[in-house]
Amino acid sequence: MTTAAALAPLRQPRVFPFGIRLLMLPAAFVLVAVFVVPMVYFLGQSLDAPAGQRGLSLAHYREVLSDAYYWQLAWNSFTLGAMVTVITLAIAYPAALVMAEARGTKLFAIIAVATFSPLLTSVIIRSYGWLYVLSDRGVVNWFLVTLGILDAPVRLIFNWTGTVIAMVHLEMPFMMFPILSVLLQQPPVLREAAQDLGASSLQTWLRVTLPLSLPGIVAGCQIVFATSISAFASPTILGGGRVRVLPVSIYGSIQGLEWPVGAVQAVMLLALSLILVGVFTRALRTRARFGGGPR
Amino acid sequence: MAERAGSAAPGQAAVDLAGVSRRYGDVDAVADVSLRIEEGEFFSLLGPSGCGKSTTLRMIGGFEVPTSGEIRIRGVAMNSVPPHRRPTNMVFQQLGLFPHLTVFDNVAFGLRLAKVPRAEITRRVARQLEIVNLAGFERRYPDQLSGGQQQRVAIARALTNEPSVLLLDEPLGALDLRLRQKMQIELKEIQRRLNTTFIYVTHDQGEAFAMSDRIGIMNHGRLEQVDTPRAIYHRPATEFVADFVGETNLVRGKVTRRSGDTMIVAALGLEVPLVASSVSPGESVTLSIRPEHVRLSRIQRGAPGMVTIRGATFQGSFIHYALETPSGETISARVIDGDASDNLKPGDGADIQFAVEQVRIMG
């Protein structure tokens, strides 16, 4: 069985020779130097005593966490992350199904290029591009008004709508890739076996394809959620100040030289991210198995 | 499963293929196959890889659609019926066990879809697992089973739906020899007990011979011969069948004269007397001579024999000889270890005889 072969290396604890471990050194060095050290330094700021005092203190936490404004920011970040994740999933999953079906054909290549192209341009350029496309006189509004669907242009920028649209576009490959990879791993014989046993296309999807694609869905959601709650460029450029999320506020705090306040918000963001990643992982591990077994 | 499985009417074939073809581009994967498989029969499709046997099986299961011809199962035309509405179940070559489901849920899969009441599901799954000798494995996942156990889960899963016809696509291919032989016996036993029609695809003639009531030999998309294993072995209808089933020497020859009931055929630089009425002097023929039907007798060392030994291979219970005949052609002979001619060496001469009643004349 493919699964048995895939799982086997995880089950047996393997011992790596010292020489092999040495290969990890460059990666470990980079991680410590450019990630761990600045992170610890920055988070250390959140524990700084208020001006004029010495030592460590939780004063900044007290200040930020007792202020409903920052909780609103956290809620906004969560909402943005959840919206982007759900919409991206809803678009990416069916597209990934089509891609898996079309493996080896031109259609596969076309969808792949369309999905992964956002990665080729800078987020700033892409955001300004969306600004142009979604503006009152942009292509989208022109189209809707010309077709008579709308009487007047609808506001699509400098608000949540524009931000979410741009971010869904940006996050699409990060949702597509993990889902596509689990779908491509599913041997076609599984679906044939389900059909053979009497399952219609919908039943085959529900009972076989979907449960087996859950790991990809969970991985995609984790990546998309974690990256979209920490996104800065899209909410800033397309939100026009109306999309108040933690990263934008952190930037503001630091601009205003309030480093400790920025650091506390960063901790909030990190906590949000970790909680959601944990919830998803747990959901996958204890997921209800279809069927139910003998009773 | 009343809506899936029709019931057998007397005298009706379990499966009837009428002029079935399947084209891919301009290649005929299956060409004009007509075949009638009876209720309760263990039928094998045997042939080399790429001969169209799997495609034929997949057309019966509904995974491929015939380009032309008609497939009927218990008298009902099946061409436009999708796999999930056919009264067939398949044991796939790659098994296709659902890795996220336990053994119980794998076997219960079809019954749940058919909305069978829960108590009956439990009962039928238990019975099926007992048949394949896997009682007690209900809660295991497929990756916690050995190859042979997975195999038996796949068979149980396909059988719980009580199909009119069970299709098996080289299901034992991945197993080692010993396990394969054990499973062959078990499969035949299961088939006999359930009296279900089995259609079994394999490239392994030993497997087909061990289990089948009848065998259909396929080559290049065509059905070459359909008969019992014995008849196929002893009376191969075509050169391909003679060569593919067992080992044989295909020898070109010419009928030179008649002597009573006997035809004398000149072949290999020898004169072979054969009892045959279907040929007449002057005709060119191909003879099929199985190696075990070639008899050697040793002659005095150094004396010129009818044939010269070119190679000798010890193969356990028998010796395989390569013989050079007077015409310069090489044929094989197989001699039981212990026979008087079992220790001939390359370069030795020997006299040769054919068990003429076993020599086949192929057109």
Q: How far is CA A138 from CA A130, A135, A142, A157, B89, in A?
A: 9, 5, 6, 10, 57
Contact A164, A80 (CB under 8 A): yes
Residue B63: burial class (beta carbons within 10 Å; 0-12, 13-18, 19+): buried
The β-bridge partners of B202 are B46
Task: Specify whether B37 is located in the same domain as B179.
Answer: yes
Inspect the interface and report whether the beta carbons of B92 and A189 lie closer than 8 Å. Answer: yes
Name the range with the highest mean pLDDT among A108-122, A279-293, B220-234, B272-286: B220-234
Q: Across the strands, what pairs with B322?
A: B311, B332
Among the ranges given (A33-42, A46-55, B143-152, B167-176), the one the predictor scored with the smallest mean pLDDT: A46-55
A196: containing domain: 69-285
Ramachandran area for residue B327 (φ above 0: left; ψ -120 to 50: alpha; else beta): alpha
CB B324 within 8 A of CB B307: yes
Computed over every residue of chain B, the mean pLDDT equals 89
User: At which residue do the structure tokens 């290396």 appear?
Assistant: A9
Three state DSSP letters for B297-314: EECCCCCCCCEEEEEEEE
Q: Collapsing DSSP states into helix, strand and coil, what is residue B211?
A: helix
d(CA B243, CA B284): 19
A99 domain residue, yes or no: yes
Question: Do residues B185 and B234 both lie within one domain?
Answer: yes
Rounded distance between C-alpha atoms, residue A112 and residue A103, angstroms: 10
Query: Which of B212, B243, B274 is where one domain is finished?
Result: B243
Is the residue at B320 inside a domain?
yes
User: Does a structural domain hold residue B9?
Assistant: no
CATH number for the domain harbouring residue B142: 3.40.50.300
pLDDT in tens, B22-36: 999 989 999 999 999
Shortest CA distance to A266 belongs to which of A35, A24, A42, A22? A42
Number of domains in chain A: 1
Q: Which residues of A touch B122 (CB under 8 A)?
A: 294-295
Is the separation of the CB atoms in B129 and B121 below 8 Å? no
Confidence band of A3 (pLDDT split at 50, 70, 90)? very low
Q: How far apart are CA B252 and CA B270, in angstroms?
A: 12
pLDDT of residue A1: 37
Pairing state between β B165-169 and B88-91:
parallel
Could you say which residues from 23 to 42 on chain A have a Cβ atom under 8 Å away from some Cβ of chain B?
none
- Final residue before a domain boundary, out of B243, B261, B296: B243
Q: Which helix (DSSP H) or strand (DSSP E) does residue A283 occupy?
A: helix A259-285
CA-nearest of B219, B261, B239, B231 to B356 is B261
In a domain, A186, yes or no: yes
> How crowded is residue A106: how many other Cβ atoms within 10 Å of its Cβ?
8
Question: pLDDT (tens digit, 9 = 90+) per residue, B111-135?
Answer: 999 999 999 999 999 999 998 889 9
| CA B160 to each of CA A192, B81, B116, B172: distance values in angstroms, whole numbers, following the listed order | 17, 21, 11, 20
The token pair that represents B163 in the structure block: 């199909």
Question: What residue in A sits closest to B158 (Cα-Cα)?
Answer: A197
* Residue (of A247, A242, A243) closest to A230 by Cα position: A247
Q: How far apart are CA B307 and CA A259, in angstroms?
A: 101
Residue A126 domain-assigned (yes or no) = yes
Q: Say whether the ipTM exceeds 0.85.
A: no
CB-nearest to A291 from B82, B96, B101 is B101
Domain identity same for B110 and B204 = yes
Specify the range with the lowest mean pLDDT, choosing from A240-244, A290-294, B31-35.
A290-294
Whether residues B265 and B136 fall in one domain: no
pLDDT of residue A295: 34
Most confident range, picked from A39-53, B210-224, B321-335: B210-224
B63 within domain boundaries = yes
Q: What digits encode the pLDDT tens for the residues A145-170? A: 989 888 888 888 899 999 999 999 99
What's the mean pLDDT in B152-157?
A: 94
**pLDDT given at position B76:** 93
Residue B3 lies in a domain: no
Q: What is the CATH number of the domain that holds B281?
A: 2.40.50.140
Same domain, residue pair B36 and B117: yes
Is residue B179 included in any domain, yes or no? yes
Q: Provide the pLDDT for residue B278.
A: 77
Question: Once rounded to an integer, what is the mean pLDDT over residues B88-112?
Answer: 95
For the segment B339-350, the average pLDDT, to the nearest whole number, is 82
Q: Which residue has the higher pLDDT, A169 or A9?
A: A169
Q: Does A9 touch chain B (CB under 8 A)?
A: no
Residue A62 within any structural domain of the chain: no
Q: Mean pLDDT over all residues of chain A?
A: 87
CATH number of the domain bearing residue A252: 1.10.3720.10
CA–CA separation, A42 and A30 (whole Å) = 18
Q: Is the pLDDT of residue B8 over 70?
A: no
Q: How many separate domains does chain B show?
A: 2
Based on the domain organization, do B54 and B189 belong to the same domain? yes
Q: Could you tell me if A4 lies within 8 Å of chain B, comparing CB atoms?
A: yes
Residue B6 has pLDDT above 70, yes or no: no
Same domain, B54 and B155: yes
Q: How many CB atoms lie within 10 A of CB A83?
A: 16
More confident residue, B281 or B42: B42
Beta bridge partners of B296: B352
Together in a domain, B187 and B269 = no
Residue type present at position A104: G
Vertex A128 angle, CA A123 and A132, to 5°? 145
Chain A residues within an 8 Å CB radius of B150: 1
Which residues are registered as beta bridge partners of B287?
Answer: B251, B361
Among the listed residues A224, A220, A199, the one whose alpha carbon sits nearest the alpha carbon of residue A209: A199
> Is residue A26 assigned to a domain?
no
A187 lies in some domain: yes
CA distances from B6 to B14, B34, B59, B293 (A): 10, 22, 18, 48
* Better-scored residue on pLDDT, B5 or B101: B101
Residue B1 counted as domain residue: no
Residues B68 and B166 in one domain: yes
- The top-scoring range by mean pLDDT among A78-82, A127-131, A142-146, B184-188 is A78-82
Does A190 sit within 8 Å of B109, measured CB to CB? no
Per CB-CB distance under 8 Å, the chain A contacts of B139 are 293-294
B342 pLDDT higher than 80: no
Q: Which of B65, B81, B94, B123 to mutate to test the interface with A (most CBs of A within 10 A)?
A: B94
Confidence of residue A38 (pLDDT cuts 50, 70, 90): confident
pLDDT value at residue A44: 87
Does the pLDDT at position A8 exceed 60?
Answer: no
Question: Greatest CA separation found in chain A?
Answer: 76
**What is the pLDDT, as a whole number, of residue B363?**
62
Does B177 or B120 have the greater pLDDT score? B120
Residue B10: the pLDDT is: 61
Q: State the residue range of the domain holding B289.
A: 247-362
Q: Do B105 and A289 touch (CB under 8 A)?
A: yes
Out of B210, B243, B276, pick the residue that ends a domain: B243
What Rg, from alpha-carbon coordinates, does chain B have?
A: 25
Which tokens sit at A217? 């869905």
Q: Quick one: angle between helices A68-101 and A210-229, nearest 10?
A: 140
Backbone angles phi, psi at A266, to 5 degrees: -65, -40
C-alpha dist (Å) from residue B147 to A2, B153, B172: 12, 10, 10
Cα distance from N-terminal residue to C-terminal residue, chain B: 50
B270 and B185, same domain (yes or no) = no
Q: Is the model's pLDDT at B7 over the cut of 70?
A: no
H or E, element range at B204: none
Rounded to an integer, what distance in angstroms lies between the CA atom of residue B253 and that of residue B6? 53
How far apart are alpha carbons B166 and B44 in whole angstroms? Answer: 12
The dihedrals phi and psi of B70, each to the nearest 5 degrees, come to: -135, 140
* B251 and B239, same domain (yes or no): no
Nearest to B100 among A192, A203, A211 (CB): A211
Q: What is the pLDDT of residue B303?
A: 66
d(C-alpha B177, C-alpha B188), whole Å:
17
Residue A96 lies in a domain: yes
Query: What percent of chain B shows pLDDT beyond 70?
Result: 95
Among the partner residues B83, B102, B109, nearest to A293 by beta-carbon distance: B102
Q: Assess if residue A199 is contained within a domain.
A: yes
- B297 CB neighbour count, 10 Å cutoff: 13
Separation of alpha carbons B113 and B90, rounded Å: 16
- Taking each helix axis from N to C end, the angle separating A160-185 and A68-101, rounded to the nearest 10 degrees, works out to 40
Identify which of A195, A218, A234 has the alpha carbon closest to the alpha carbon of residue A278: A218
